[in-house]
Amino acid sequence: MTTFTHTIDGVAESSDQHFDVINPATAAAFAQCPSVSRDQLDRAVAAARSAFESWSKLPPAVRREHIANFAHGLAAKIDAIGPVLTREQGKPLGQAKWEIGGAVHELEEMCKMDLPYQLIRDDGKHRVELIYHPIGVVGAITPWNFPIILAAHKIAHGLYAGNTMVLKPSPYTPLATLLMGEVARTALPRGVLNVVAGGNEVGQWMTEHEGIDRISFTGSVPTGKKVLASASGTLKRVTLELGGNDPAIVLDDADLAAITPNLFRGAFLNAGQICMAVKRIYAPEKLYEPLIEGLAKLAQAHRVGDGFEDGVEMGPLQNKMQFDKVNAILEDTKKHSGVRVAAGGHTLNRPGYFIAPTVVAAPHDDMRLVREEQFGPVVPVMKYRELDDAVRRANDTRFGLCASVWTTNPPKGAEVAKRIEAGTVWVNHHVGSEADMPFGGFKESGVGRELGAIGLASYLEPQVVKVPLA
């Protein structure tokens, strides 16, 4: 059995306490993970603080080279880390390897942009510059749905900006991230990237820790609110990338044959466990039934199973808590009159946390399935008559992460997109991030942005320098 360890100051460490890691395809434990102690966390923070003194003074190009070495080391471990990610997260093996490959790509691409600088004024009397300094030690907390690529986002910009880091993955999916830490031991200077695992209490220790200067958190809205409150005691800089209830609005000129597979993928990739997934679909009356039929056929044909089985396209829900939540939403959905389950609507008769891909027709706007973020393989499809009504209903939510508009007229799609209250709105596309595109949400979907120039700047502290010229 593989032994998993923390990475603290460039060295492998175990812990006195361990916890089980569950394979969601079997609902049984398959590995033990060390649970970091408070003393070990303190030492990880101290190591990051010590490393900051030299790391922050390196030229950005040199830091970029170190991060590229880390990316190359991660690429060499795809075949070893991929199966671990599948066992702990549940996604098919090909998708697990794709995630790690995506992390390698993002690590490389996110370090290619220049660090921010602005000459505010040079008028012969004064020269005023806006320069940026690394903040210090970053505490990064990542979720269980895409643990590797979301960690890579934080590592890339956090370290490239000159900060050092303590990274903690979700206790549901800690192991692949601990293997990232192993790569860091040889690819990065000691103490620059420390990786520790543990329960939710470790996240609270980090957000309260006086030695951590910035928190980058990706996860649920309720937990994000706790993070923000906890970090306020030391006025840490905080970025929160939280949940979404993303609408997809189909316009009446849309080509259903072209868009239905893409809508389906946007809703059911990773078993719907994506913050930016399609979680509500609004379709015009004339396209409504054909769209329901098309989505239902895809759902019925979608192969669900263990991520190691040949041809599997969708794995289980990642954990029992989420499995129970989605089942409760399904049961609530079935109680409402006039609602039709066009496909799925049931669990699979096998071990593990499997739910069949589910398409729900004619849900009411006040149902849990429409109001809440289901974060699972269930998508409601609503009918509308007037586009203004669809936009109003799409915006009637406390979330505002992403959205999409589907049409054969992209300029018209862009006009509609600008009316939607969300941090990212795509036309004829849904789900995806790019290194140069800032990502984050309106309303309760987050605070701040990651990725892009805005994301990079969030890992830096701006400083105005005003110098007299005469």
User: Could you please report the per-residue DSSP string of 269-335?
Assistant: GGGG--TTSEEEEEEEHHHHHHHHHHHHHHHHH--BS-TTSTT--B---SSHHHHHHHHHHHHHHHT
Question: Measured at the alpha carbon of residue 98, what is the angle toward residues 97 and 100, in degrees to the nearest 5?
Answer: 65
Considering the candidates 106, 275, 373, 421, report the single residue annotated as catalytic: 275
Contact 138, 154 (CB under 8 A): yes
Q: What is the pLDDT of residue 1?
A: 63
Contact 198, 105 (CB under 8 A): no
Give the residues of the chain that fall short of pLDDT 50: none
Q: What is the pLDDT of residue 2?
A: 82
Provide the 10 A C-beta neighbour count for residue 280: 25
Domains, in order of start, for the chain: 6-242+444-468 (3.40.605.10), 246-434 (3.40.309.10)
Q: Which residue reads 């992390």 in tokens?
A: 103
pTM of the model: 0.97
d(CA 130, CA 356): 53
To the query of whether residue 275 is one of the catalytic residues in this protein, the response is yes
d(CA 142, CA 180): 13
d(CA 7, CA 190): 10
Contact 383, 288 (CB under 8 A): yes
Considering the candidates 182, 241, 421, 450, report the single residue annotated as catalytic: 241
Strands (E) across 89-243 are located at: 118-122, 126-134, 137-141, 164-168, 193-195, 214-218, 237-241
Provide the 10 A C-beta neighbour count for residue 41: 24
Provide the 10 A C-beta neighbour count for residue 356: 19
d(CA 106, CA 375): 24
